[in-house]
Amino acid sequence: MSRVRYISAIAAAVAVVALSACESNVETPPETIQIAQSSGATSSQAPDPSATPPIPTAAALEKQMRSVLKRGLPDKERLDLIEDGNAFKSNIPDLFKAMDENPGAKYGIKDPVEDNGDGTLSATFWLQKDGTEATERTAQVQFISQDGKWRVSKNDVCAILQMADYTSEACA
């Protein structure tokens, strides 16, 4: 295992989450968001968990991934942003350690967000671990529609972790 297992929600993912950015680098405070909304549901109806949520923008997906890093966010909410998020639960302390060790890191999601037509979306995740464009790395990430939400795929959380030079037992 490496010195830091990194993420546990995006671990966002989250986004996923492999996101070694510090909250002070976020232009607007991150908030927990649910990208999915039930269409046509009344207050007496529960949302249809099998329904595919609306296609979000890159900015909305980035906001979701940034919420993974929000200090004070309950772990349950943090892990809910990742496919099989509970597998990353033991990484939560390392997530914040990584953020502290990389205070200049920047990351985001680039347009376009592509609907793959199979209940998944693809988008480009970028990471500048030291905050400079010269060190920018990118990876295609997939978001999976589950329970009416878009979640960062577990495999892509693992790929982002690897891109950021971290590992997790959840990725073994």
Q: pLDDT value at position 165?
A: 78
Question: How many CB atoms are located within 10 Å of the residue 97 CB?
Answer: 16
Helix (H/G/I), strand (E/B), else coil: 58 = helix
Side chain identity at residue 6, one-letter code: Y
Phi, psi dihedrals of residue 90, rounded to the nearest 5°: -70, -10
Laid out side by side, the sheet with 137-146 consists of 106-115, 120-128, 137-146, 149-152
- Tens digits of per-residue pLDDT, 33-64? 333 333 333 334 555 556 789 999 999 999 98
> Can you say whether residue 131 is alpha, beta or left, with left for phi > 0 and alpha for psi between -120 and 50 degrees?
left
Distance CA(127)–CA(25), nearest Å, equals 13
Residue 20 binned pLDDT confidence (cut-offs 50, 70, 90): very low
Euclidean distance between CA atoms 77 and 86, whole angstroms: 10
Dig out the tokens for 69 from the structure.
């890093």
Domains of the chain: 23-36+44-171 (3.10.450)
pTM for this model (two decimals): 0.68
Q: Please provide the average confidence, as pLDDT, over all residues in the chain.
A: 74
* Half-sphere exposure at residue 20, Cβ-oriented, CA atoms within 13 angstroms: 27
Q: What pLDDT is attached to residue 163?
A: 74
C-alpha dihedral sign at 10, 77, 50, 42? negative
